[in-house]
């Protein structure tokens, strides 16, 4: 319990900063929606002139930007990216922090099994991510409703919001696994950004090639805004893959952590 509380104390500032950043981005773009929606015909004609690959890269290939649901689909593509960076950072940090700050011997020498340490740290990460998603949903919903017309579905908005959590679970698992592969991680953010944007680039390539095999390689392809708007649901196979990646890579990370030689210097 002490490890869990300490981890939360170490994470809460990042939680606040990233959540504020996501909310600022949400309301900044939402502020301009009326300008888009008031010029529907001009906007649709303008966007129709762009190549599909260009529109896919920026998240508005198969949605109507003049409708709030389509606009939110475009907007949440970038909010999800921020959430992915946050969760990857937490996952990468949680099992490597003590080694990086040279306090690993202090932690490992306590009368605790390593699986107990890893479990407490993982629980703190999940609580932090859950808190961020709850805050994001509750604070973004009034803004969406203030712009809403009869074409906005609360179910669709909820699914857009849950997409953040689903992608974060993927990167939490990847982050925890990656963290135990290195003897010592000197800086978290370069690795975090490299991994997240690698998956994002795979998504951009997939948008151009439209290869189903590539879709399974990146979580940014699992929860498409256009599909959510059309079906008001996720595709089960992608939900299953997402959760499987989280469970498998988290377990692998914890198993390697159990046997890893942890150096304090």
- Mean pLDDT, residues 144-163: 84
Tell me if 165 is assigned to some domain: yes
Phi, psi of 201 (to 5 degrees): -65, -40
DSSP-derived 3-state class of residue 25? helix
Q: Name the pLDDT band for 48 (thresholds 50, 70, 90).
A: low
pLDDT at site 61: 62
pLDDT at site 162: 95
Please state, rounded to an integer, the average pLDDT across all residues of the chain.
82
pLDDT at site 165: 95
Tell me if 265 is assigned to some domain: no
Tell me if 89 is assigned to some domain: yes
Nearest-angstrom CA–CA distance, 82 and 75: 11
Q: Name the pLDDT band for 6 (thresholds 50, 70, 90).
A: confident
Tell me if 245 is assigned to some domain: yes
Q: Name the pLDDT band for 29 (thresholds 50, 70, 90).
A: confident
- Mean pLDDT, residues 177-201: 88
Contact 73, 59 (CB under 8 A): yes
Total domains present in the chain: 1
Tell me if 86 is assigned to some domain: yes
Of 34-43, 70-79, 125-134, least confident by mean pLDDT is 34-43
Tell me if 118 is assigned to some domain: yes
Q: Write the CB contacts of 58 (distance below 8 Å, at least 6 apart in sequence).
A: 74
pLDDT at site 21: 94
Residue numbers of the domain that contains 150:
2-259
- Mean pLDDT, residues 100-110: 55
DSSP-derived 3-state class of residue 217? coil
Joined tokens for residue 219? 């979580």
- Mean pLDDT, residues 234-248: 94
- Mean pLDDT, residues 118-130: 91
Tell me if 51 is assigned to some domain: yes
Q: Name the pLDDT band for 67 (thresholds 50, 70, 90).
A: confident
Joined tokens for residue 164? 């953040």
pLDDT, greater one: 207 or 235: 235
Contact 158, 141 (CB under 8 A): no
Tell me if 264 is assigned to some domain: no
Residue among 71, 45, 43, 42 nearest 58 (CA): 71
């Amino acid at each position: 319990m002490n490890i869990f509380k300490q981890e939360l104390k170490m994470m809460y500032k990042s939680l606040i900063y990233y959540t504020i950043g996501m909310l600022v981005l949400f309301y900044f773009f939402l502020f301009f929606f009326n300008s888009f929606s008031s010029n529907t015909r001009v906007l649709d004609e303008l966007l129709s002139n762009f190549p599909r690959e260009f529109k896919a890269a920026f998240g508005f290939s198969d949605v109507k930007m003049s409708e709030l649901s389509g606009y939110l689909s475009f907007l949440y593509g970038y909010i999800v990216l921020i959430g992915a960076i946050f969760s990857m950072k937490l996952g990468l940090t949680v099992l490597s922090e003590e080694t990086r700050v040279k306090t690993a011997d202090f932690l490992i020498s306590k009368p605790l099994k390593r699986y107990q340490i890893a479990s407490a740290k993982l629980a703190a990460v999940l609580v932090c991510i859950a808190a961020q998603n709850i805050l994001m949903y509750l604070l973004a919903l009034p803004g969406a409703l203030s712009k809403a017309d009869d074409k906005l579905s609360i179910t669709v908005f909820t699914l857009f919001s849950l997409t953040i959590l689903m992608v974060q679970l993927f990167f939490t698992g990847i982050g925890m696994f990656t963290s135990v592969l290195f003897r010592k991680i000197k800086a978290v953010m370069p690795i975090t950004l490299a991994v997240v944007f690698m998956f994002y680039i795979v998504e951009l390539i997939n948008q151009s090639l439209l290869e189903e095999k590539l879709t399974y390689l990146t979580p940014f392809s699992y929860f498409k805004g256009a599909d959510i708007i059309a079906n008001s649901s996720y595709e089960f196979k992608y939900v299953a893959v997402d959760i499987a990646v989280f469970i498998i890579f988290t377990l692998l990370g914890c198993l390697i952590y159990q046997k890893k030689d942890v150096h304090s210097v």
